[in-house]
Amino acid sequence: MKFKHRSTFFYILLTLLLLTACVVRPIDRSPYQEAEYYEETLEDLQESPVEVIQGDTVQVGWAKVNITPPTGTPLAGYGKRLGMDYETVHDSAWVRTFAFSNGSTQAYYVALDLLIVPMEVLAQLEKAYPKLGLKPEQVYLTATHSHTSFGGWGKKLGIKIMSGKYDEELVNGLVQQIVESMQAAKANLQPTKIGYGSTSAASLVRNRLLDDTDNPYYKDRQNRDTQLRFVKFERADGTTAVLSSFAAHPTILPSMTPTLSRDYPGVLVDTLEARVGFSSFSAGAVGSHSAIYFDGDTYASTGMVGSRLAKLLREELRDVPTAYVQTLGYGRVPLELPKPSWRISKNLRLAPFLFNTVFGKHPAYVTSLQVGDIVFLGAPADYSGEFVEQIVQQAQAQGLYAIVTSFNGGYIGYITPDKYYDLDEYETRSMNFFGPHSGSYLTEIILLQLQQHKK
């Protein structure tokens, strides 16, 4: 009898060990430069190089389309909402698009008032591009990253938790609205002078990853991207448009209020449009960066941050020189990825099939758009502002200005410096999906993509 019990216990233990072996893996900390996915991405860079095309004077057009869905649509941005629908609209969501043409080629810059550019939207857009005479790399996608905008655009369980029940009609409608904005912007093309500007907004952004822990990097207050960057567009009739980007999460408003809003980017854009003809905003390298505000999670705080950013920008705008340019360029390289490393402890991760079951497998890219001597670089992630300085410095060495944006149509989680990987924090533990070298790897590919652009 004792033997039978021991035998049963042995088989139960063996079964548990086998199950554990199936669902748990050790973290792979080997150098990414030795990995096959790294070599494949380098090959992709060579096979899909950036196109930089000289032509006639660049013409620019802009347009916006209201994309606010009906009340009863879920909000996106916080898992604890569990797909909560919004009941009222504080300020509407838009797609704002710039069109560019130099006679030899054309390109578009699309900014959505959404948490991210949804993967399902990207997939549907790529079916629409051929009818517009476009290749995917000619359309540069971004988002404002408001955590109080609408969802309904994710199919997999892990995405539904953050964005609510999937709505195919909403996705199809959103794709049509983006295309409509592109067509309207193209119809508005005119010769336009272009100039780059930036100003410090250090008092409005903090590194929440470091500020909220007692780690050894806490005292290094330089670990932030503090610049408010913008592009000024100026027409012969005096009409001005502004495209801006800043690296602070739009997470000011309360998570459990059923109200749709663009958070502080909405205030920034609306305030600027009271003075200029058109304005647009894109989330910069917001990974672990948050806005600094003092009136709690209220509209007073979004108003303070947005209006302060607008004031700082306006103070610089008048003195930014503009000129006609002839160069347009664009690129999109597939970012090959390691097997998912969704961690359950410092050195253990769940098996890749579990991650893929929850979140799905989606393509990721590094994207770029060049207009004159300004290069936009797009990451498929919550990309950390700590990487931006080296990118900006390389661009300067090439005689270019760089603006880094996040959320270009793919999503691979939070990308922070490798040195923080073992911090037991949300950004580095729960939201680092692809291992200890994600930051170095993605940044290297961005820099290599940038190298292909030329003045």
Q: What tens digit of pLDDT does each residue of 254-309 get?
A: 999 999 999 999 999 999 999 999 999 999 999 989 999 999 999 999 999 999 99
- Residue 406's Cβ-side half-sphere holds a number of Cα atoms within 13 Å equal to 31
pLDDT at residue 6, rounded to an integer: 56
Beta bridge pairs of residue 120: none
Report CA Rg, the chain: 23
Give strand pairing partners of 226. Answer: none
- Domain assignment present for residue 34? The answer is no
Return the amino acid letter for 209. L
> Across the chain, what does the average pLDDT equal?
93
Domain that holds residue 196: 52-317
- Distances 250 to 65, 77, 114, 139, 209 between C-alpha atoms, Å: 21, 10, 11, 24, 16
Q: Is 61 among the domain residues?
A: yes
Residue 195 has pLDDT above 70, yes or no: yes
Amino acid, single-letter form, for residue 116: I
What is the pLDDT, as a whole number, of residue 21? 53
* Structural domain contains residue 285: yes
Q: Is residue 167 part of a domain?
A: yes
Give residue 170's identity as a one-letter amino acid code.
L
Confidence check: pLDDT of 18 > 70: no
Tell me, yes or no, whether 204 lies in a domain: yes
Query: Residues near 234 by Cβ (< 8 Å), separated by ≥ 6?
Result: 192, 193, 194, 195, 240, 322
* Nearest Cα to Cα of residue 248 among 232, 272, 279, 227: 227
Give burial (CB, 10 Å; 0-12/13-18/19+) of 216: exposed
Give residue-wise pLDDT tens across range 400-444.
Answer: 999 999 999 999 999 999 999 999 888 998 899 999 999 999 999
Please tell me the predicted confidence (pLDDT) of residue 12: 53
In a domain, 129, yes or no: yes
Return d(Cα 230, Cα 269) in angstroms, integer. Answer: 12
- Cα(416)–Cα(294) distance, rounded to whole angstroms? 26
Residue 17 pLDDT class (50, 70, 90 cuts): very low
Predicted confidence band at 342 (pLDDT cuts at 50, 70, 90)? confident
Average pLDDT over residues 37-41: 98
The least confident of 4-18, 129-143, 370-384, 388-402 is 4-18
Mean pLDDT throughout 380-408? Answer: 97
Alpha helices, DSSP H only, in 190-298? 208-211, 263-273
Length of the chain: 455
Residue 289 labelled as part of a binding site: no
What is the average pLDDT across 210-239?
78
**Per-residue pLDDT at 83:** 87
Please check whether residue 225 lies inside any domain of the structure: yes
pLDDT at 351: 86
What is the pLDDT at residue 16? 45
User: Average pLDDT for residues 445-454, to the nearest whole number?
Assistant: 97
> What pLDDT digit, counting tens, does each position of 67-98 carry?
999 999 999 999 999 889 999 999 999 999 99
Q: Is 5 within any annotated ligand binding site?
A: no
Q: Confirm whether 87 is domain-assigned.
A: yes
Report the domain count for the chain.
Answer: 1
Check pLDDT > 60 for residue 4.
no
Residue 25 confidence (pLDDT)? 83
What does the CA dihedral 66, 168, 184, 320 come to, rounded to 10 degrees? 60
Are the CB atoms for 420 and 432 separated by under 8 Å?
A: no
Confidence of residue 13 (pLDDT cuts 50, 70, 90): very low
What average pLDDT does this structure show over 56-77?
97
- pLDDT, position 212: 53
For the segment 3-11, the average pLDDT, to the nearest whole number, is 53
Band the pLDDT of 24: cuts 50, 70, 90. confident
H/E segment holding residue 63: strand 59-66
CB atoms within 10 A of CB 399: 9
Average pLDDT over residues 215-221: 49
